[in-house]
Structure formats: structure tokens, C-alpha cells
């Protein structure tokens, strides 16, 4: 079955990552999954949150936002609503947990890394694109820290992290859903994996029809395939 967008069921969208997209941040990237575009920056600041003070550890925290007209109809600006919505909080908590899993925090002495993922244009998969793009910006920020003498050792980075969404669409597993597909998929599954092939996070939601264990395993297989390709891309980009 060909998809509306012409892709095969197991085919990723065209992915582009532009490193050093902004001039101030220690690490930054523009990541594009088809028409989904996210600016990811990593900022390095001294100090840690109160619950970590005096433990010789570091911290990483993430924030997520969307420009009001990143979507088909304009959304109210969260700064005007006076608070971040539930979806935003859910996503930025996921990004933070995922990237913290890439680092050995005990080697990040009293430093906080702020990850900002701001969606310029949304066409499905913004949270998985954010994690994947922020990982690249994070590697660049670590390099800057090392150059500045902030990091003594190489082993702060435990492994790379990448993420993709999969779904059940008309009864078939599909890789990397765009907005149209996502809107009518029966099930939506976000997967975060390490470059060593383990899982960091899986979040599956039956939007319309409950799913079976077999569906889950089929979707996870597809996700593994997609994430393997994404790791290749991350490596290629970072090798330049």
C-alpha cells in the first residue's frame, strides 16, 4: 500500500539537520522531518537546581514551544495564555528525560544544560524530531564545553539518542507519520532509543481502536528500523 504522501510504509520522510543554526547557543540545530521544522538549542549555564546543590552533579532540562502559526490554524501564544498547556509540558518532560538518558550527569559538575526546542512549522512528529535534533545540538554543546576546559573526560556522553513515531494506519504499521496520517491513525507510538539498541521511552496511545500485542511488536520493529537510519544520519552530520 502506497501512502498518501507517496512513501512506503517503512519509509522515513526526508530528514535534514543543519548544525550551528544560531550564532549564540553553545549547540544548535535546525531539524527538518519533511515539513516539520524545529530549532533546537542547547545553552550551558553554571549552577544546578536546588535538589542537586552540593552533589557535584549536573542537570539537563528541556523546554518546548511552537510558534503560533506553526500549524494550519493559529494557536494562542502560551505567553499570552499565561501558562504552558498540558501537551507542551508532556512533550518537554519527554525531551528532558530522553536527553538526560544520554549523559552521565555525575560528570557534569554543577552545570545545567537548557535544551530549547521551538517548532517553526509542524507537520506531525514534532516531539520525536525535537529529541533527534536536540541530540545533535547537545553533542556540539559538549564539544564547546570541552574546548573551554569545562569537561575533564570523554565519557560524559554514554550513547546517542534518537526518536521516531510509528502508528497503525488502516490496520497497517507505518513509519514516521505526518500530520494527516497521524490525525486518522488508529494508534500512535513514540519511541526513543539509544544508539546501542535499547529503549529509553515508548508511549503508545490507541486514538481510535485499541491495539494488540502483535501490532505493538510490528510497530516497534518499524521504529527500530527507522531509528537505525536516523543514527546513521546523525553520525554523518556530526562527522562533517
Residue 48 in grid coordinates: 544546578
Give the list of residues 6+ apart from residue 232 with CB closer than 8 angstroms, or none. Answer: none
16 is an annotated ligand-binding site residue: no
Does the annotation flag 128 for ligand binding?
A: no
Beta carbons of 117 and 134 less than 8 angstroms apart: yes
* DSSP classification of residue 240: -
Cβ 20 to its own copies shortest distance, Å: 12
Distance CA 21, CA 116 (A): 13
Minimum CB separation of residue 196 from its own copies in Å reads 7
Beta-bridge partner residues of 192: 163, 201
Q: Are strands 187-194 and 161-169 parallel, antiparallel or unpaired?
A: antiparallel
- The cell for 240 is 562533517
Residue 125 marked in a binding site? yes
Q: Which is nearer to its own copies, 8 or 205 (CB)?
A: 205
Nearer residue to its own copies within complex by CB, 6 or 239: 6
Measured from the CB atom, the residue of 63 and 239 that comes closer to its own copies is: 63
Sites of contact with its own copies (CB under 8 A): 22-25, 28, 35, 39, 41, 43, 45, 63, 65, 67-72, 74, 77-90, 92-93, 97, 101, 114, 116, 118, 120-121, 193-194, 196, 198-206, 209-213, 216-217, 220
SS3 72: coil
132 labeled binding residue: no
Which residue, 82 or 149, is less far from its own copies as judged by CB? 82
Q: Which residue has the cell 510504509?
A: 9
Question: Per the annotation, where are the binding residues?
Answer: 87, 125-127
Question: Per the annotation, where are the binding residues for phosphate?
Answer: 87, 125-127
Amino acid at each position: 500500500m502506497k501512502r498518501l504522501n507517496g512513501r512506503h510504509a517503512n519509509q522515513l520522510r526526508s530528514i535534514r539537520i543543519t548544525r550551528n543554526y544560531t550564532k549564540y547557543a553553545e549547540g544548535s540545530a535546525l531539524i527538518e522531518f519533511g515539513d516539520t521544522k524545529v530549532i533546537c538549542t542547547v545553552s550551558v549555564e553554571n549552577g544546578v537546581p536546588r535538589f542537586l546543590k552540593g552533589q557535584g552533579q549536573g542537570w539537563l532540562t528541556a523546554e518546548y514551544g511552537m510558534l503560533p502559526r506553526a500549524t494550519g490554524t493559529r494557536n494562542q501564544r502560551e505567553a499570552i495564555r499565561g501558562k504552558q498547556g498540558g501537551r507542551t509540558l508532556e512533550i518537554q518532560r519527554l525531551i528532558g528525560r530522553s536527553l538526560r538518558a544520554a549523559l552521565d550527569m555525575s560528570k557534569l559538575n554543577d552545570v545545567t544544560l537548557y535544551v530549547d526546542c521551538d517548532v517553526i512549522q509542524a507537520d506531525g512528529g514534532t516531539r520525536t524530531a525535537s529529541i533527534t535534533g536536540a541530540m545533535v545540538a547537545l553533542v556540539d554543546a559538549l564539544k564547546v564545553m570541552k574546548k573551554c576546559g569545562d569537561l575533564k573526560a570523554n565519557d560524559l556522553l554514554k550513547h546517542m539518542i534518537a526518536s521516531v513515531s510509528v502508528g497503525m494506519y488502516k490496520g497497517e504499521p507505518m513509519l514516521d507519520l505526518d500530520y494527516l496520517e497521524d490525525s486518522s491513525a488508529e494508534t500512535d507510538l513514540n519511541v526513543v532509543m539509544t544508539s546501542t539498541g535499547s529503549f529509553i521511552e515508548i508511549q503508545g496511545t490507541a486514538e481510535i481502536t485499541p491495539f494488540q500485542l502483535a501490532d505493538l511488536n510490528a510497530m516497534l520493529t518499524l521504529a527500530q528500523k527507522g531509528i537505525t537510519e536516523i543514527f546513521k544520519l546523525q553520525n554523518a552530520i556530526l562527522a562533517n
